[in-house]
Amino acid sequence: MKPVFYEIERSLTSKFSIVMIVAIIGLSALISYEGGALSSARSVRGGGVSEVSGYYTNGNNLTLISYFYDINGNPDKVRVNASLNNTLYPGSEISAGLYEFQIPIQSPVSIINLNYSYNQFGFTSSNMAAVTVNTATQNSSGLSIVPGILESSNSSNLGFLLFYVGAKGNHTSPPINVYVGPISGEKFNISSFIANYTWKNQYSNFTYLTIFPNLGAAAIGKSYAVLVDSNTSSTQHIYKPIGPLSTFTPYTASAIESSFFSTEGSLLILFIPLLAVFMAYFTYGKDRVTGVLESVIKRPITKGEAIRSRFLANSVVVSASIVVAIVVSDLISYRYFHVYMPFSFMLYVSWAYSIVGISFVAISYFFSHLLKSQGALLGSLIGIFMVFSLFWSVIFDVLVSVFSIPSGTSTYVTFQVAFNYASPAGYSSLVQLYITHTLGGFASFSGGSQSINPLAYGVTPILLLISGILWVAVPFIIAHQLAVKRD
């Protein structure tokens, strides 16, 4: 077995590491889930499952057809029963999202309850809908229009769903014209509407169909209606008001990036140093001060190789935890926002938090060679974590108060950038500043929404690279030299 694999396995499988890694990945996942589930962005594929139903009759037999769909109009799988007069009628799925019920009816007007449940992100949700059927006027429901369907990538919320159930079980629509145009007031004049429509299209042979007319920015703030007529007869009209239209900006990669720093970033900046410090203690520092490392050093290996090998193992585990947490978070986020983090962004943040973690590993190695007792070492490492990671923002706040530096000023930002450079935990904030032009992280800038030019404050790619390398290399090289040159 290659010794470094054993060391990676050991770094990964110590109880503390397992707890921390599970916490990092699990909490990142939960934060993404929460962010997606609670987001008010209209592109979010949240919400539940809705239904639209139609019917046709054959004597006293009613066939109810229900289409179950998500907020984007896509079919959803459900478990469903219909009930009428306390009698249950199981539904059979005839195609994706479409369920059929055979129900004997006694009277021309019936209210049929649909009880359905569905799985959403691993949880089962239940819902109920009441469908009123009036067979006295029509022996089939024909065309239904459902407004409020959202298209995730469109710039409009003017989506709607057409659903057709014809007589004798004919589930395909005849040719129709669909008009969309502005309306004002409650009066609706068909001929006027048709004369002034802004969007039209023809459709046929569908059971359900989602339509997202692109009306452009000119339609913002106006109410619209959709009107459908048969393109073979001028007598069949059906209309439904939709809108008003409001243009929205789809959830963008930029929004994902900002969101990442304010949510998962806050988590990582707390847990990664904690993982790094304790992993370094349990797999190197403790072994060194208790003499366990001697059982390795006596092998055909130099002291330098011994420390490098463990440092590499710790670094791999810290970085892998970060990458997995970010990827899991991104996948969950995509489930809601339909936008992946840009690959370059993933690289940047993986690099940034890896630098943070590996810096803390390196500092822990350095202290492992300064101190000779377990207690002193553990206490020092906890102190390092608390000062650099937990209380750095408090120290910053105290200092800006002492020096009376007003928040939001250039001096304040300069001071904050300098402070971030002075702590390994501040590195991610610098990368955030470089990417999003806002400062955040452990020492959040009170004017966080204000755009800051990173270059003006010395946050350049070269300086970030040098700073990151120095935070890792300096403590590790000193630790390495102490390991090689001292007993």
Partner 1 sequence: MITIENLTKIYSPKEGPAVDDFSLEIKNGEILGFVGLNGAGKSTTIRISAGITLPTSGDVYINGKSITKEKIEASRNVGWVPEIPNYEMNAKPIPLMKYFAGYYGLPNDQEEKNIRELLTEVGLWEYRDKKLRTYSQGMKKRFSLAESLIGDPDNLMFDETLNGLDPEGVQFVRQLIVDQKKKGKAILLSSHILSEIEAVSDRIAIIHHGKLVKILDRAELNALGREKIVMEIDNFDERALGLISKYGEVKETGNDIVLTSLKIEKKNYPEIMSTLVPLGYKVRKFEPSGESLEEFFFNIIGDN
Our finding on whether 3 is near partner 1 (CB under 8 A) is yes
CA-closest candidate to residue 83, choices 141, 130, 133, 139: 130
Out of 40, 295, 401, 451, the residue judged to bind partner 1 by CB under 8 A: 295
Verify binding: residue 124, partner 1, rule CB under 8 A. no
Task: Pick from 1, 130, 136, 462 the residue near partner 1 by CB under 8 A.
Answer: 1
Q: Residue 121 carries which DSSP code?
A: T
Q: Closest separation between CB of residue 319 and partner 1, Å? A: 22
Q: Can residue 187 be called a binding residue for partner 1 (CB under 8 A)?
A: no
In angstroms, give the least distance from the CB of 11 to partner 1.
12
Opening angle at CA 318, ends 316 and 323, nearest 5: 90
Paired sense of beta strands 199-203 and 176-183, if any: antiparallel
Q: Using CB under 8 A, which residues numbered 6 to 35 contact partner 1?
A: 6-7, 10, 14
Report the distance separating Cα 314 and Cα 358, nearest Å: 8
**Which of 137, 235, 402, 486 contacts partner 1 by CB under 8 A?**
486
Q: Whole-number minimum distance, CB 380 to partner 1, in Å?
A: 22
Report the half-sphere exposure of 348 (CA within 13 A, side-chain side): 20
Find the DSSP H helices in 42-138. none
| Site pattern 303..342 for partner 1 (x: CB under 8 A) | x---------------------------------------
Under the criterion CB under 8 A, does residue 290 sit at the interface with partner 1? yes
Q: Which stretch binds partner 1 (CB under 8 A): 4-12, 120-128, 147-155, 193-201?
A: 4-12
In the shown chain, the binding pattern of residues 426 to 445 toward partner 1, with x for contact by CB under 8 A and - for none, equals: --------------------
Query: Which one of 25-33, 216-224, 301-309, 404-412 is the stretch in contact with partner 1 (CB under 8 A)?
Result: 301-309
CB of 129 to partner 1, least distance (A): 57
Residue 125 C-beta-side C-alpha neighbours within 13 Å: 13
Q: Which is nearer to partner 1, 3 or 342 (CB)?
A: 3
Q: Answer yes or no: are the C-beta atoms of 391 and 426 closer than 8 Å.
A: no
**Among 106, 185, 299, 404, which residue interacts with partner 1 (rule: CB under 8 A)?**
299
Q: How distant, in Å, are the alpha carbons of 269, 286, 317, 385 from that of 378? A: 20, 8, 20, 11
Binder of partner 1 out of 105, 287, 459, 479 (CB under 8 A): 287
Element (H, E) at 164: strand 159-165
| Residues 6 or more apart in contact with residue 120 via CB below 8 angstroms | 48, 49
CA distance 378 to 367: 10
Q: Which is nearer to partner 1, 168 or 485 (CB)?
A: 485
Q: How far apart are CA 315 and CA 350, in angstroms?
A: 12
Binding of partner 1 by 294 (CB under 8 A): yes
Structure tokens of 77? 């799988």
> In sequence order, what are the beta bridge partners of 220?
245
Footprint on this chain of partner 1 (rule: CB under 8 A) = 1-3, 6-7, 10, 14, 287, 290-292, 294-303, 485-487
